[in-house]
Amino acid sequence: MRVYLLTTLLMFITLISFGQFTEQEQELIEFEKKQDTISRSIFLDTTDFIDLKLVYVINTRQIWRSTNKETQNIEQFYDIRIKFDSKEKALSFHEEYWKENSEFGPEIKKHEIKTNGTEDFRVFKGADIVNQMSASNGLQIYCYIFVINSYFVKFYISCKKTLQPSIIQPYLDKVIRKNE
């Protein structure tokens, strides 16, 4: 709980230190507020995680947190969805807001994650300032953003060390299957 609160506090301090939300970040916040109810069946669930506990649910996201600090690499896992009327609209949103949805971090172009069933799959490491603040807690940030059918999907993950593709692949595979 303490690391979660520290990470959240650091993110808000980062936003405050930059002044305020950008116009596009504010648009994203308003857009998410207007989302219709999204079925929980397309999100990851308790059968998909070992040593992660669901701690927060709102319409567009679920937040999971580690329950076993000794063995679990993933500290927090944000599973985020935004529904659109079509795949084209989801892809348009993805293209327009990729910087904000990547948390302004550098893209990891070479990765070994198999992305069959997704559109425009991108991997980002947290922005330097966020990673520097998280590093004091021994954490690194990764963002995975992509489109499946008419959904924009984002995984925001804080972890104790470099997140290997073999760790994220099972989660991605399950999300693809749930959204077919």
Does pLDDT of 179 surpass 90?
Answer: no
Quickly list DSSP for 50-80.
SSEEEEEEETTEEEEEES-TTT-SEEEEEEE
Q: What is the mean pLDDT of the chain?
A: 81
Does pLDDT of 18 surpass 50?
Answer: no
Q: What is the pLDDT of residue 73?
A: 81
The model's pLDDT over 133-156, given as tens digits with 9 standing for 90+, comes to 555 567 888 999 999 999 999 999
- Closest residue by Cα to residue 174 from 44, 34, 47: 44
The residues near 82 (Cβ < 8 Å, ≥ 6 apart) are 31, 32, 35, 60, 90, 93, 151, 152
Total structural domains within the chain:
1
Give the SS3 label for residue 83.
strand
Does pLDDT of 107 surpass 50?
Answer: yes
Does pLDDT of 46 surpass 80?
Answer: yes
The whole-angstrom distance between residue 80's C-alpha and the CA centroid of its chain comes to 6
Q: How confident is the model at residue 32 (pLDDT cuts 50, 70, 90)?
A: confident
Separation between Cα atoms, residue 156 and residue 146, nearest integer Å: 12
Does pLDDT of 65 surpass 80?
Answer: yes
- Closest residue by Cα to residue 1 from 135, 137, 103, 127: 137
Count each helix (H run) and each strand (E run) in the chain, helices first: 6, 6
Separation between Cα atoms, residue 67 and residue 80, nearest integer Å: 20
- DSSP state for residue 85 in the 8-state scheme: S
Q: What is the pLDDT of residue 157?
A: 92
Range of the domain at 94: 2-178
pTM of the model: 0.82
